[in-house]
Structure 1
Amino acid sequence: MTFDLLERRKEKFILWIPDTPASNPPSLVLGIFNGGPPATIHEIWNGQLSVSDQPDLWELDPSDIQPPLKNDTVYHYWFEIYTSSEHLGAFQVTDPIAYTVDYRATETRDEHVQPASVIKFRDGKLWPCDIDGNEPSHVAPPAQDAIPDNNHLVIYELPTSWANKNPAGDVQVDVGTFTDVLALFDLTTAGDRFRDTPSVANEAIVADLGVNALELLPVADSKRTGEWGYATAHYYAPDSDLGTSSELAKLVNSIHMKGIRFFTDVVMAFGHDPYIYIAFKQFHLQPEDEIDNQDSYQSHSTELREGWGGRLWRYIQDTNTYDPESGRPGNVHPSWSFHLGHLHRWMSDFGIGGFRLDSVNNIANFDFIRSYTEKAWSLYRSRYRTPSPSKFLVIGEELSVPVDMVTSGTIDALWNEPFQGRLRAAILGESTDGDDFEWTVRKMINCTLDQSHPFTDGAQAINYITSHDTEGSRKERLFNFLSANHVDDIERRSKLAFTCLLTAVGIPMIFAGEEFCDQMDRSVRQKQVDPVNYERKAEDWRARVFNYVATLVRLRKESSALGVNDTEFIHVDENCEGKIIAWKRGAQGQAPVVVVANFTDQDTPGNEYFVENWPERERQGWREVTQGRDVPRDWVGREPLLHWEAKVYTY
């Protein structure tokens, strides 16, 4: 499948400006990078673009540039736009569809910084390249039988902000690169900025954990540094702070070889992109200036959309112009086309196996979201002769959990925010949401029982103990949450929490660092500044938590019983307020997974604890998974429990 605008950019410099007058042509400013110091870009040519064969599409053939461009040479460029704004006037902007941007010659990264776009001229054409001129390879789609189905996914949500300590013991925060991420999966890769962190240089922590899906928080370029990339500025370019297209391709190819799917986060409610300066009214809006415009409001709400320092994308807007996808004139939603374009870029070049769409309520246009989901699926299906319907996923984040978005086909899955609230209540022995304790646990373990958010399949719900949204009450990292509630057996409660997560109906997502009970390194609990500190994994008790979680991750991937919705609660102990509960996962004919969990401060009395409705009690071969031991037939369904302990069994 092709996207016309992206095909045209291979031959010419291209700029699409809907509703632009032909009398006001943009110009191309072309230069050569000089590393200095100081780093500069030496301008070698400045000339106007011409209207192409399509309305509102400006172009310049490289062969028209004099003196002629040199073969196999990297060029830096901007488009110069002539605005009516007094404080901007003639303003140089980054190419909105630049595949690489270069900040080295810019002094700051404030709101108006427009880094140079980077391109390579070779054999009469324009080729995407890294800033060093290397032309990145495309990531080949993984073989379908080598990657997991959606209902056997374990997603690892990884931010880019990491931490280590300097010799004085102070916490140092930096942004991990694509190479640092690869080091978490590949023992032979030492890392980049974190190559001196022993747990990064000497281990492959995430590979050892065993997850089979990596979700990187936004990989598209953000102007902000030291945060997690939610200020997207250049939607077609990898974040220059994280590395190059070549390094990202190497990362994705490497994890594909390990059977791991690659997800990325996409921010489409607001942006910091060049169209703010090129064609604001066609692409963006200020809600307070358009209070009668439905596009100014969050979905199903009277609350105005929030730009969080960026500019909101305008979605209820169409115009007769060039269609960037088809290449023909027509009635086009400019923002829709722009975002569908970078969807093509990421899926075609980097083998994306799934997306998380940030804050879909703030995007506020379900028709657009549905079109994005449908286009993503079309691109996925084009990869394979007989595409599987269970090997790709588009996830939405909306904390009110509007399941109708899933049932209507707008997206495939939603973050299951109630799971977090129920789990955090349960591991304190509390109930929540108006339910008693038993039903708090029932709805936590089986999301299809939640009539307020009626998921019909586990692949529709993304469950998590913690997410990158660590600000707010009961949202902080698990260690900090338990500490704040005066829990003195954090190891045991953490293991219980992960038992619930990894045996529940729904797709489990592990926020990076929770697998070894990382804690907040910053006193201010803000979601975009607290880093992941992989050094902590070396502590004995944290390593025990890590190994426990890794054991359950392996079970989650391998057990057919945990890949279906079938759940039966076989035991609720009324003698302890329903706080010792057993559940069985799996359909008839599958080896069941049975969990017995004690959500109390007391060990079970005596030397045995009898679970009356245990399935196939007389069968040989039962094992307790977390301890890796066989269970004698006489003790099946009879083993005692310590306080805040869960045992997990299968045969």
Structure 2
Amino acid sequence: MDILNRRTECFVLWAPLSDASLDPPFLIIGSTNGNSGGFAQTARVPLVLAQDKDHLWLLDPATISPPLADGVYHYWFEVQDTSPEKRGTILVTDPLSFTVDYSVTRESNDSEILQPASVIKFRDGKLWPCDIDGTEPQKVAVPAQSGLPSNNHLVIYELPTSRAKVGNDNRGVDVDVGTFADVLALFDTQSPGSHFSGVSAVHDEAILSSLGINALELLPAADAKTKGEWGYATANYFAPDADLGSSSDLSLLVEKIHNQNIRLLTDVVMAFGHDPYGLISFDEFHIRPDQERDNPDSYQSHATGVLRDGYGGKSWRYIRMIPSYNPETGDGSALVHPSWAFHRLHLTRWMNDFGVGGLRLDSVNNIGNWDFVRSYKERAWELYNARYGGSADPSKFIVVGEELSMPISMVQGGVLNALWNEPWQGRLRASLLGESVGTDPFEWTIRKLVNCKLDDLGGANFTDGAQAVNYITSHDIEGYRKERLYNFIVSNGIYDVEKRAKLAFSLLLTSVGIPMIFAGEEFADQMDRSVDLGKKQTDPVNYSRKNDGGWRQELFGFVANLVKFRTACPALGEDDTDFFHVDQSRGGKIMAWRRGQIGEGKFPVVVVANFSDEDTPGPTYVVPNWPDQDKPGWREVSQQRHVPPEWVGREPLLQWEAKVYTRWQAQGESAK
């Protein structure tokens, strides 16, 4: 990436503008005043337009007077505001800054012009990315492919990083802003975290290592302007969120999870932004959909005539191409999509520096441009493949899109690898109440829940389980039946939360598709603040609930057992599914199905579930047509017990219970 390479030699600003009359940008540079947050400006120097490089402004640090001494510097670019507000001369953060410092900023009541200082180190005549304290972060080492999980054996843990803890400070105020260090404490007993010293369940344990997940999805980890909470207001796309910690903190976290063969997935927001280009080159990078109704770029992709929604940010402009310097290739004057180039640039930063092993693209419908999404996905794969010298395993990298209208053609056409499977959540919630969905009878609600490939998505279907990400709950709690599982169960008048939660996880972790667990659901965390279904998840995760000494602790162990089974059992990495028993005498509410293939050397998984308020009567319940019933070694996974041959296919079921059976054993596991 040409422009990223240039940043080691010069201060660089790519500012494509149709208005050539605007003044050249200036560099405002100085240093901080210890811990006081003060800023002492040392120079204001104009940048110079690069020769034969349209719209590329450069400044050799050797030309700055007085000369820069080796050390850490804070800086902005001074530009003329090109946004619709036209505020005149304004200071902006470097759009390519790897570190930003909100303690050194130009305060404003207008959040759109809150521009933190960019941070850089000058050393040996060159510019070096660094943390605020001057540490030069190391790139994450490339993990061995052999240890990484394939997509069809992923269990994703979706974590809103800055919502990683609950507690009280000495003023009685909620302390719920976690950091990368706090996330590390969920994986490493030797890392207490920065805010977790009072939470024994985290300080003394490694909860997520115990849970057994093998993919960590951080909700937007790039810097956002919102403070004290996570959110989708991405402002500085190259920098880790200043609330969460430094590049070095994030690199350490990724190194630690890679050592446990856990992949890092990141959430990326490219439908809208709060970025400096909204001030530097507004019309080249952003669009006002309501003012350009004749422009197809103004409309969402999922519904005819629906304008794109910036949710308080500025919608990125994707259709326009302009003649300009190409920051990717270095061509001096070429036709360039400014937004395409910008997003592929920060993708390069995250892939190369932080070892990203998968991406979730937020609000694909609001991006509105499938050509760009395809380009971004293909560039992500190129970068991943290059990591392994061109011989990367495609089953160990994934780009997932969130588009709730479920346009499966995006997957079939190669625009994305997978979609969030939002209908799965609706079926799961209905099944926990014994209800069917739509016109389907209850039996088919369960069949489509267990095998998402049966779901008709506008005349097309998923063709592979790795194309669908299933979830009980996500950070998107807006709307009917989308709140946390605990709150959903209780709000429906059910007080045995443990039983329904266990059923939910039995289904999630044995169904076709990639299971995703929203942080805290593994022990049925609940929403302590008022439930506002018009907002995303705002409650902090209360990890102290995990060790309640009661049913939540039992639920965590139950889920952890099934997670480890899901990540390792070959049959659950296959899509083969066969419903071989539906008990019509009980209204079809008791069913049995097989996951995985049968035959010599095959070890299928059998699930038997009771979706009714009644236990099966008597000491036995016979399930006919049980596969491989006469073969030895059957065990019930969720309770971790051996099943005697005479009881295979004959065990009773409690109400709202699922049992998971297999003959497969993990390597090194002995038969009981």
TM range (shorter): over 0.9
Contact 1:10 1:127 in 2 (8 A): yes
Contact 1:173 1:226 in 2 (8 A): no
Give the drift of 1:538: 1.3
Q: Distance in 1 between matches of 2:104 and 2:3?
A: 28
Q: Distance in 1 between matches of 2:279 and 2:81?
A: 8
2:613 maps to which of 570, 591, 601 = 601
Q: Is 1:430 paired with 2:432?
A: no
1:508 maps to which residue? 515
Deviates more, 1:47-56 or 1:76-85: 76-85
Q: Is 1:352 paired with 2:356?
A: yes
Structure 1 residues 81 and 108: alpha-carbon distance in aligned structure 2, compared to 1, 3 A threshold? closer
Matches within 5 A, 1:456-471: 456-471=463-478
2:43 maps to which residue? 45
Structure 1 residues 46 and 168: alpha-carbon distance in aligned structure 2, compared to 1, 3 A threshold? closer
Contact 2:605 2:661 in 1 (8 A): yes
RMSD (Å), alpha carbons = 1.5
1:370 maps to which residue? 374
- Identity rate of aligned residues, in percent? 60
Give the drift of 1:466: 0.2
TM-score, normalised relative to structure 2: 0.94
Q: Distance in 1 between matches of 2:478 and 2:21?
A: 49
Q: Distance in 2 between matches of 1:195 and 1:368?
A: 45
Q: Is 1:342 paired with 2:346?
A: yes
Give the drift of 1:547: 0.5
Deviates more, 1:188-197 or 1:457-466: 188-197
The residue type paired with residue 45 of structure 2 is G
Q: Is 1:119 paired with 2:120?
A: yes
Matches within 5 A, 1:47-126: 47-53=45-51, 54-71=53-70, 73-83=71-81, 88-106=87-105, 107=107, 110-126=111-127
Matches within 5 A, 1:556-595: 556-588=566-598, 589-595=601-607
> Aligned with 2:566: secondary structure?
helix
Contact 1:162 1:173 in 2 (8 A): no
Deviates more, 1:377-386 or 1:457-466: 377-386
> Aligned with 2:395: secondary structure?
coil
> Aligned with 1:75: secondary structure?
strand
Q: Distance in 2 between matches of 1:622 and 1:253?
A: 38
1:394 maps to which residue? 399
1:130 maps to which residue? 131
2:312 maps to which of 298, 309, 315 = 309
> Aligned with 1:308: secondary structure?
coil
Contact 1:161 1:173 in 2 (8 A): no
Structure 1 residues 534 and 23: alpha-carbon distance in aligned structure 2, compared to 1, 3 A threshold? closer
Matches within 5 A, 1:228-627: 228-301=230-303, 302-328=305-331, 329-385=333-389, 386-452=391-457, 454-525=461-532, 526-539=535-548, 540-588=550-598, 589-627=601-639
Structure 1 residues 69 and 380: alpha-carbon distance in aligned structure 2, compared to 1, 3 A threshold? same
Listed one character per residue, the Cα deviations across residues 219-263 of structure 1 (whole Å, up to 9, x for unaligned) are: 000010122231000000000000000000000000000000000
Q: Distance in 2 between matches of 1:530 and 1:25?
A: 46
Structure 1 residues 30 and 165: alpha-carbon distance in aligned structure 2, compared to 1, 3 A threshold? closer
Give the drift of 1:497: 0.4
Contact 1:19 1:321 in 2 (8 A): no
Structure 1 residues 108 and 35: alpha-carbon distance in aligned structure 2, compared to 1, 3 A threshold? farther
Contact 2:82 2:279 in 1 (8 A): no
Give the drift of 1:174: 2.0
Contact 1:221 1:229 in 2 (8 A): no
Give the drift of 1:123: 1.1
2:174 maps to which residue? 172
Structure 2: which 5+ runs fail to align?
A: 664-672
Aligned pairs, how many? Answer: 647
Give the drift of 1:157: 0.1
> Aligned with 2:5: secondary structure?
helix
> Aligned with 2:477: secondary structure?
coil
The residue type paired with residue 187 of structure 1 is T
Give the drift of 1:168: 9.6
Listed one character per residue, the Cα deviations across residues 12-51 of structure 1 (whole Å, up to 9, x for unaligned) are: 00000113527621110011111353x2111000011001
> Aligned with 2:660: secondary structure?
strand
The residue type paired with residue 445 of structure 1 is V
Contact 2:167 2:176 in 1 (8 A): no
Listed one character per residue, the Cα deviations across residues 522-577 of structure 1 (whole Å, up to 9, x for unaligned) are: 10333142221111111211011110000100110111000010001111000111
Structure 1 residues 170 and 614: alpha-carbon distance in aligned structure 2, compared to 1, 3 A threshold? farther
The residue type paired with residue 223 of structure 1 is K
Contact 1:163 1:172 in 2 (8 A): no
Contact 1:598 1:646 in 2 (8 A): yes
TM-score, normalised relative to structure 1: 0.97
Give the drift of 1:313: 0.4
Give the drift of 1:82: 2.2
Contact 2:605 2:662 in 1 (8 A): yes
